[in-house]
Chains A and B, each alone.
Chain A
């Protein structure tokens, strides 16, 4: 049963109950425990604290606006707080609210601004702490106050009775924001936003109104669609892939996206499209196949209630956003949809769309090539292999959780586990970064191996689907086999654990020359024959791994 501990400067029992209720509506049976009143400064350092007694998966700090006015030297206390927090590093994910200003101050023309100044200092400290610590994330409390208002969040009577800054209503609203944040921490975000065109990206019907008749930009409803396009562009910058699925004439639609002067989105922003008169569901399945992603990574935004209903019914894996009747509300609908939530954007996230376009070019190159071998050679693939580092850990973690297809064991590790693995040296985490003449694929392979003794054991091997089918997997196995052999090992062992999604990896070990060892149920590669057993690869490798062998 996963646990959350809440710590703060005010009574949080109501928030804890509301949050537990929300979290339990999902599949995991979360329990949420509120720590002692005003425990925030000692929660991390006091061995008797709720946090140390419970070892929760997630620790949430809720700092009410009262910290700004009720503590004599909040800046200094904040430094102590953050220093104390570093002692929990790695054990737990930590969420913390930013600090907001309570507006009802005496002499408000002076005091609320003075509060804003201190809040800015504290929030800057929090932001740089977040930047430095991958296990620490922030929830914007000012946004919560802006959305709901101080009279919805707090009530002086309840505060008087129970030192409960957040009223029952406020606790409910805070719990709503917190549960969305917990989901963002514990589930992987959706990958693709599929958009309709007519009355979604612009107003009007292109086939009837023509390129000069559709509404995008300018005044009136076209402005709403422009704002929507810009919001989508922001989403895309965080790594969400965009695709088009529309009943339209393909040439006309592509022409409008290329030539209309006021579009914020252009055809290059989309990694795939299906513009035809086929059914949406068939087209969505086609897009999933083309992008090599599961339907459950897709989200549809389509103004037509009929299409939405049909997709909900025939492809229930896809999230369908309920689109408001008024295009002016589209941006809000997109913001309220939690499926794309993420706390951090990695380099890989930012370049994802470009990588899918490069992949399409690779497919084209493959079709033009005389043979597979010629295609592989023409790609001029290059791999950089190194050990995981603190800077690459977030991406390693992301791959471990997101890779379902080429994943030998689907063994998931959270960041603290990976970090302690990195430190203990019992197992090594090896990463692979691939580039070819069309571009960078980024960090796309992870191999975890224990390197003690005569038999090295692969704990897991996974490759992002975007680098599959290019012999990289054989290159990586050959690399590890050579390292093992050089260290004096005789065998390399690995397991395959079937999951619902990893059938693509099923035959890999056998193809790579491993043989089933009956007594252990493991696949074993005899290292002195490895070179001839492992199929040829076409990847040149730069070896940047530190010593892989475990110390005595």
Chain B
């Protein structure tokens, strides 16, 4: 089921992350985690979630929002929407 969901465009994802977290393009890696990036604090996280929801026309459940703490989880959550289970990637 997971393999059939289309993944979000990588460049679009990168642009949203870079602009929401206000980090340099060079600081971006596709496997970034929240705790690797000083600018990615709890407020920046909400800004990032908001920006992603706007850019990819998705809406995450409240409970899920704090758990999306890496680019990998964000990518999967965008692709799978409500079906995404963060436990599967922990």
Contacts and interface: CB of A to CB of B under 8 A. Distances in A.
Interface of A: 13-14, 17, 155-158, 160-162, 164, 167-169
Contacts of B62: 156-157, 160-161
Q: Is the interface of B mostly helix, strand, loop or mixed?
A: helix
B65 A161 contact: yes
A162 B46 contact: yes
Contacts of B65: 157, 161
Q: Is the interface of A mostly helix, strand, loop or mixed?
A: helix
B71 to A, nearest CB: 19
A13 B45 CA distance: 12
Contacts of A156: 62
Nearest to A156: B62
Given A157-B62, A157-B65, A164 B46 contact: yes
A167 B43 contact: no
B42 A162 contact: yes
A156 B49 CA distance: 14
A155 B61 CA distance: 12
A168 B50 contact: yes
A17 B66 contact: no
Contacts of A167: 50
A13 B51 CA distance: 17
Nearest to A14: B43
Contacts of B43: 13-14, 17, 162
Task: Specify which of A158, A160, A167, A168 lies most central, judged by the most chain B CB atoms within 10 Å of its CB.
Answer: A168
Nearest to B62: A157
Nearest to B48: A168
A282 B60 CA distance: 59
Nearest to A16: B43
- A-B interface, 5 closest residue pairs, ranked by CB to CB distance from nearest: A168-B50, A157-B62, A13-B43, A168-B47, A160-B62
9 contacts: A14-B46, A14-B47, A17-B43, A157-B61, A161-B46, A161-B66, A164-B46, A168-B46, A168-B51
A157 B50 CA distance: 11
Nearest to B41: A13
Contacts of A169: 50
Contacts of A157: 60-62, 65
A511 B43 CA distance: 62
A14 B22 CA distance: 14
Contacts of A168: 46-47, 49-51
A169 B47 CA distance: 8
Contacts of A14: 43, 46-47
A160 B63 CA distance: 9
Contacts of B51: 168
Contacts of B42: 162
A170 to B, nearest CB: 10
A158 B42 CA distance: 11
A152 B18 CA distance: 23
A169 B53 CA distance: 11
Given A164-B46, A168-B49, A168-B50, 17 more contacts: A14-B43, A14-B46, A14-B47, A17-B43, A156-B62, A157-B60, A157-B61, A157-B62, A158-B46, A160-B62, A161-B62, A162-B43, A162-B46, A167-B50, A168-B46, A168-B47, A168-B51
A157 B64 CA distance: 10
Residue with the highest number of chain A CB atoms closer than 10 Å, among B46, B61, B62: B46
Nearest to B50: A168
Contacts of A17: 43
A21 to B, nearest CB: 9
A29 to B, nearest CB: 17
A162 B51 CA distance: 17
Contacts of A158: 46, 50
Interface in B44-79: 46-47, 49-51, 60-62, 65-66
B70 to A, nearest CB: 18
B46 to A, nearest CB: 6
Most chain-A CB neighbours within 10 Å: which of B42, B51, B61? Answer: B42
